[in-house]
Amino acid sequence: MSPEEQLEAALAEVERLRAALAEKDVKLASKDEQIKSLQDQLLWLRKKVYGHMSEKHLPIDPLQLNLFEKEHMTDEERARLAAEMAAAEQTITKTITVKEKPARRDLNTSALPVEECHVYPDGTTDESGNLKDEYEEIGTEESSRLERIPARTYIVKTIRHKVIAKSDMASKKPEDRAILVAEMPLAPVAKCMAGASVLADIVIGKFMYHLPFYRLIQQYKESGIVISDSTMGGWYEQAVDKLKPLYDRLRQKILSSEYIQIDESVIPVIDNEKHKARKGYEWCVRDGITGDVMFYYDRGSRGHHVAREILGGYRGNVQSDGYEAYEQFERMEGITMYGCWAHARRKFVDALQEDERMAAEAILYIRKLYKVEEDADNAVLSPDERKEQRLKISYPTLRDFEKWMEDTYTNVLPKSKLGVAIAYTYSLLPRLSRYVNDGRVNIDNNLIENAIRPLALGRKNYLFCGNDASAFRAAIVYSLISTCKAAGVEPREWMEDVLRKLPYCHRDGKDISELLPRTWAESATNRG
C-alpha cells in the first residue's frame, strides 16, 4: 500500500470514528434526557408520597436549609420561625370548623297513591266495620308507612273464539259453513314465550341498570318463575335483533346532521381463542343539535379505518378529541374538524403537580374561554349572539394564549407534563379555535362523554361482553337507550311499546322511523 493510500485509509478511519463518536454523543444526550425525565417523575412521586401538602409542588433548592436543622439557624431565625409557626397555628385554629350533623330529610311521597286503613278499638264496631251506636268518635290519630309489592309476573293466555253465522248453520252444509276466528296477535318475537314487557325488562335491566343475567334470573326466581341462563340469553338476543332496523335508521339520521361529536371508549370482550378478555372499543357519535346518540362497534378495533367507516360519507362539522385517527378528516372535503378544550385543560391540570405556577396560568386562559360560554348560557344567547361574544372576547384570549404557549415552551422540558400539555394544545390549536366562528358548536366534547358514561358503568357491573356479536348488540341497545334519555323518553315504556308495534310495521310495510324515540315522543304528545 502506497503512502497516499495509507493516508486516505487513515483519514477514512478518522471520519468513521468521528461519525461513531457523534452517534454516541446523540445516544448519550438521549439517555441524559430520559434520565432527567425519570428523575423529574421520581421527584414528583416522592413529593406526592412524602411531602407536606403545602410544599408538595414547590421545587427543591439544594441550598435551602432544612427547617428542622436548628443548629444552622441563628437566634433571630429561630425567633422568626417560632412566630411564623404560632401565626400558622392560629390561622389553622380559626379555619377549622366542626361540621354540623345533617338533618334527616323526610321522604317525598306526594306522588304515591295512598291506601287508607281504618282501625277501631276491639269490640267497638259491628260486622260491617261501622262504629256501634253506643260509641261516638271524637277524633283520629294518623301514621304512615311505605310499602312495596314486588314486580308481578303472570301469563297472558290468548283464547281465540271460533264462531259461525246462525244463517249458515241453518242453510248450509257443515263443509260450506264459514268459520270466523280472530287473527292471532303478532308476537314481538315469533315462537317465543316472552312478551314485550318481559323482553323490555331484560334489555333495560342489563343496559340501563347494568345487571348481569344471573341477577335478572334471581329476580324472576323471586317472582315464582325459573328461567335458565341460555333461555334468557336467547330472549335477549332475539329482542335486540328485532331492534336493529331501528338502530340502522338512527345511525342514518344522526349522520345526516350538520354537527356531530365523536369519541370512543373501552369495552372488554372475551377472546374465545385466547380464553381471556381483550380490550375492545365502542365508538360513539352524538348529534350535536338534537342530542341523539349512536354507538358503533367493529370487532373492537380503534383503528383509523373504523373512523373512515363511520364518517367516510359524512359532510358537516365533526368535534373530537386529539386522537390521531381523526386527523385524516382535516384533509377531507366537506368536513370541518373541531377540537375539545376539556381534553386540553385536563393535560394542564395534570401538569399542576410539576409546575403549579405555569400550569395555573394556562388553566386561567382556558377558564376565560369557559366564562364566555357560561355567560352566554345564563343569558340564553342565540347561536349568532354567542358567536358575536366569542369573536369579541374568546378570540383575543386565544391569540394571547397562543403567544403564551410559544414563549413558555422554550423554557420547559419537552417530555415534562407541562411540555406535553403545551405541545398537545398548540398542535391542535387550529381545530380548537374554530368553534368561535359557529355559535352552534360547543367548546368541548363533554356532552358525548356524558353519553358514554353508561358504558363505563356497565363495564364495572357485567365486566365484559362474551364475544364480538354481544358487543355489537350492546352498541344497538346503548344507542337506543341514550337517545331515549336525550329525547326525554322513559326507555322501558318506549321499548315495550316499540317491541309490540314492530311486527305490525313490518307486516303492513310502515315506515319504522316513526318509532324512533324522538318521533315516538312527538306522536305520543299529539295523541295526548
Residues 396 and 465 placed together within one structural domain of the fold: no
Is residue 370 in a domain? yes
Across 151-172, b (16+ Cβ under 10 Å) vs e yields eeeeeeeeeeeeeeeeeeeeee
Q: Which of 417, 444, 471 is the last residue of a domain?
A: 444
- Beta-strand ranges (E) seen in 162-297 are 162-164, 179-181, 259-271, 276-287, 293-296
Higher pLDDT, 504 or 100: 504
Residues 351-373: tens digit of each pLDDT: 998 888 899 999 999 999 999 99
Residue (of 325, 326, 324) closest to 338 by Cα position? 326
Residues 363 and 316 placed together within one structural domain of the fold: no
pLDDT band at 50 (very low <50, low <70, confident <90, very high): very low
Is it the case that residue 91 has pLDDT exceeding 50? Answer: no
Angle, CA 458 vertex, CA 453 and CA 459 arms, to 5°: 95
Is residue 472 in a domain? yes
Look at residue 99 in the predicted model and tell me its pLDDT. Answer: 52
Give the integer Cα–Cα distance in Å for 415 and 176: 92
Residues 421 and 495 placed together within one structural domain of the fold: no
Which DSSP symbol is given to 276?
A: E
Look at residue 92 in the predicted model and tell me its pLDDT. Answer: 42
Is residue 125 in a domain? no
Residues 240 and 325 placed together within one structural domain of the fold: yes
Is residue 351 in a domain? yes
Close Cβ partners of 233 (under 8 Å, ≥ 6 residues apart): 213
Residues 483-510: tens digit of each pLDDT: 999 999 999 999 999 999 999 999 999 9
Look at residue 343 in the predicted model and tell me its pLDDT. Answer: 93
Is residue 350 in a domain? yes
Is residue 302 in a domain? yes
Residues 211 and 310 placed together within one structural domain of the fold: yes
| DSSP character string of 296-313 | E-STT--SHHHHHHHHTT
| DSSP character string of 434-461 | GGGG-TTS-SSSHHHHHHHHHHHHHHHH
Q: Which of 396, 417, 444 is the last residue of a domain?
A: 444
Give the integer Cα–Cα distance in Å for 52 and 22: 44
Give the integer Cα–Cα distance in Å for 452 and 263: 8
pLDDT band at 54 (very low <50, low <70, confident <90, very high): very low
Output phi, psi for 164, to 5 deg.
-130, 140
Give the integer Cα–Cα distance in Å for 8 and 234: 82
Look at residue 128 in the predicted model and tell me its pLDDT. Answer: 86
Residues 249 and 389 placed together within one structural domain of the fold: no
Is residue 138 in a domain? no
Q: Which of 444, 467, 493 is the last residue of a domain?
A: 444
Give the integer Cα–Cα distance in Å for 285 and 67: 56
- Alpha helices (H) along 147-228: 166-171, 196-207, 213-222
Residue 366, judged by CB atoms within 10 A of its CB (0-12, 13-18, 19+), counts as buried
Model pTM greater than 0.75? no
Q: Give the pairing type, strands 162-164 and 179-181.
A: antiparallel
Is residue 23 in a domain? no
Residues 232 and 317 placed together within one structural domain of the fold: yes
- List the CATH number of the domain containing 210: 3.30.420
Residues 166-220: tens digit of each pLDDT: 888 888 888 888 888 888 888 898 888 889 999 999 999 988 888 888 889 998 8
Residues 237 and 279 placed together within one structural domain of the fold: yes
Cell of 61: 433548592
Residues 238 and 333 placed together within one structural domain of the fold: yes
Residues 331 and 460 placed together within one structural domain of the fold: yes
Residues 436-479: tens digit of each pLDDT: 999 999 999 888 888 877 666 655 555 456 677 888 898 999 99
For the chain, how many structural domains are there in total? 2
Residues 329 and 412 placed together within one structural domain of the fold: no
Residues 473 and 458 placed together within one structural domain of the fold: yes
Domain residues for the domain of 379 are 341-444
